[in-house]
Amino acid sequence: GENVEQHPSTLSVQEGDSAVIKCTYSDSASNYFPWYKQELGKGPQLIIDIRSNVGEKKDQRIAVTLNKTAKHFSLHITETQPEDSAVYFCAASIGSGYALNFGKGTSLLVTP
């Protein structure tokens, strides 16, 4: 399938700082870009998503931006808290369908 590349693979920030995770995709037909948070021993949990007709979306401390021309999208977490520590995955729809291609994940550690 088409690739979704995610960077960085690990990220360590101090509590209160911001965290940014970036992804690129290759399928120009992709139109849906969700972000998932996965805690140890649990399934991925949807935290925010964006569709191709929107450039930016915000939900409290979390925001996502999308640049369709450059085929990249980013997750921004402000005022990080220790409970934000988890693995975060970006994904892109396979074409305009419902199946998703996932990035390899970013392990975020927020230290008090």
Partner 1 sequence: EAGVVQSPRYKIIEKKQPVAFWCNPISGHNTLYWYLQNLGQGPELLIRYENEEAVDDSQLPKDRFSAERLKGVDSTLKIQPAELGDSAVYLCASSLGRGGHEQFFGPGTRLTVL
Question: What residues make contact with partner 1 under the rule CB under 8 A?
Answer: 1, 4, 6, 32, 34, 36, 41-46, 49, 51, 89, 91, 93-94, 97-105
SS3 50: strand
Nearer to partner 1, 78 or 102 (CB): 102
Pairing of strands 106-111, 4-7: unpaired
Nearer to partner 1, 78 or 107 (CB): 107
For residue 103, give the nearest of 51, 33, 46, 31 by alpha carbon. Answer: 33
Q: Which residues contact 24 (CB under 8 A, 6 or more apart)?
A: 4, 5, 70, 71, 72
Alpha helices in the chain (DSSP H): none
Nearer to partner 1, 41 or 112 (CB): 41
Report, in Å, the least distance between residue 87 CB and partner 1: 9
Nearer to partner 1, 45 or 81 (CB): 45
Q: Are 65 and 76 in contact (CB under 8 A)?
A: yes
Report, in Å, the least distance between residue 67 CB and partner 1: 20
Report, in Å, the least distance between residue 106 CB and partner 1: 10
